[in-house]
A and B are shown apart, each in its own frame.
Chain A
Amino acid sequence: MGKLILLDARLFVAGADLSGASNKIEVEASVEDKETTNYRSGGAVERLGGLFEAELTGAGQWEAGDPSLVDDNQWATLMSRAVAPWTLCPTDATVGALAYLTAALESEYKLLDEVGEVAPWEGSAKSSWPMPRGQIAHPPGTARTTSGSGTALQVGTVPAGKHMYAALHVLSASGTTPSLTARVESDDAVGFPSATTRATFTAATARGGQILRVAGPVTDDWWRFAWTISGTTPSFLFAAALGIA
């Protein structure tokens, strides 16, 4: 990916796609700086990397009146006082696109401005888990009405001490008693001849978000999302992302 002008960045928070309401999407990641300088440091400061933390920020044009809109989403996320999945993409959310994902606690939400201005919003969240630099595993615009599986992605093996992180953003659900149970599968070959289910999300019957992680070691290097859908004329839109950290 070369230099680019930001036009198609994506932001998913819990069960909402906030991309069209956002004109700023930002990730600020940091590692604590822990000094270990001693008399044998050769006259230079020595450091160890401490705890990781990321601050995620979105801002743009305020809308309200539906759970898919930014005010409903951000207010509910803030008031829940619970971590929610955040997934951010620099260039759209096609399968394989670069994605940063984490579980984050919404810590601040600002809205409204001076008379005559386009009503703005700004929200920020602080990470509560590591933040993998991963990939989109399922695109948000493809409706699913039957059970199936997604594209195989060679995300990589998971060493001991690391995890595979999986974020699921259910953006819409329709039909009679619709239910979507998504799972993360791995295999050692692209065709998934012997898929292993590594984790299963809680069944989703409405808009919402989940994030979970699978502890390593996992020697399989191919991964994909799969799903079971039930109900009468069910249809789901969902975005999913995978990454190792």
Chain B
Amino acid sequence: MQALAKDDVEAAYRRFFSMILAKCTRMLKDPEEAHDVAQETFTRLWAKRRSIRDEQMLTAWLYRTATRLAIDRLRLRARQQPTAEAEHAGSVGISGELEDRAAARQAIARLCTHTPTHELEAVILSSVDGLTHPEIAEVMGKSERTVRRLLAKFRSATARRCVGAEHGRA
């Protein structure tokens, strides 16, 4: 933890910000929003630097913090643009499988206002960042069993919404 231990903010920025920005861009796609969230995450990292022991702890903290800030931003966007959510209601395949990151982002954006934060966190870490269940459990501070349960809940909610959309169109 050289950069943080020496209180060298510029070195810390060079070392961590690109990684944070890449994480935020995966979640939000919009470059300006991603940069805003990345900036907030880095600012909070700098404020907390003295209580972070090592890189393992730091990355877990970064992933969790950036994910939660991104969720806040997605919910704000959904509140400001509710019609966009309705228009995309039927765009995920009937199987509800989150087959790629774009589809995962779409499903998350669509359901973010109705889905509990922990569930969204688990889905983002799994479908957007490609974390394994043990990694998600470490980042979220939960058991692997809980992670599996949260992911299953989200998948069934997505599938229900697809079925509902199909019936609506029929």
* Co-complex (A, B): no
Residues of B bordering A, CB below 8 Å: none
